[in-house]
Amino acid sequence: MTKIVIVEDEQGLQTILKYNLEKDGYQTIPVMDGKKALETILKEEPDLILLDWMLPHVSGVEICKTVRQNHDIRHIPVLMLTARGDEADKVSGLSIGADDYMTKPFSVPELMARIKALLRRAPPKPPKKTKIFADLTVDFDKKQVMRGNRMVHIGPTEFRLLQIFLEEPERVFSRLELLKKVWGDAIYVEDRTVDVHVKRLRQALNAGGEYDIIRTVRSSGYALSEMKKK
């Protein structure tokens, strides 16, 4: 479902926007002030942001600039709502990074059309630079793995395995699946090879005496899992 964060401090307008967007089949997340906006956007990673210019605490302009600087959310289209023409001039004139804007009072059907257009031409979501699961932090750019504050040293095959596990934590991947994802179809590799590399990965990840973050499911496969956390 297409998710839209509505950052708007006027309750009446918030309600109108929510009603119309949900009628058109969008999921909406309301935010009433600037401080909470960024936190919500980072957490929800919506498909579009409707952003009011004037907000309590942090202005829409500041939020928009920050969104454009953050790798994980900068691809999200921003439609700015402005109260006056001079604000609209600034949105279009200054490069604050909004994709479109509308001046209040605006026509709801036109807003809906603009939203649709923005969503249609939105860029695809980029892969995340950093992934976090439990006490594990993996930086894909630096190829760096941390377990809590401890640096984990692993080889490229183990890193690739970890990357696959992190795509869907807690899901059990079969040996065959892991084999195909890591080594591809072309090369003949034995199931045992998978076991060997998972064992190496597990030893490296648990070397500081942490709980075993890799779960072995007998005759099924392996998962990255918090189940053994005490």
Contact residues for Ca ion (CB under 5 A)? 9, 52, 54
Give the residue with the Cβ less far from Ca ion, 36 or 171. 36
CB of 23 to Ca ion, least distance (A): 23
Shortest CB 9 distance to Ca ion, Å: 5
CB-CB neighbours of 202 under 10 Å = 18
Those residues with Cβ within 8 angstroms of residue 52's Cβ, 6 or more apart along the chain or in another chain: 7, 8, 9, 10, 13, 60, 80, 81
Cβ atoms < 10 Å from Cβ of 168: 11
The conformation of residue 149, written as its DSSP 8-state character, comes to: T
Q: How far is the CB of 55 from Ca ion (least distance, A)?
A: 6
In angstroms, give the least distance from the CB of 53 to Ca ion: 7
Nearer to Ca ion, 11 or 70 (CB): 11
- Alpha-helical (H) ranges within 59-155 are 60-69, 85-93, 108-120
Looking at beta carbons, which residue is closest to Ca ion? 54
Are the beta carbons of 49 and 78 closer than 8 angstroms?
yes
Q: Which residues contact 148 (CB under 8 A, 6 or more apart)?
A: 135, 208, 210
Closer CB to Ca ion, 64 or 162, in the complex: 64
Which residue, 54 or 172, is less far from Ca ion as judged by CB? 54
Question: Which tokens sit at 207?
Answer: 């070397």
Judged by beta carbon, residue 9 or residue 100, the one nearer Ca ion is 9
Q: How far is the CB of 217 from Ca ion (least distance, A)?
A: 52
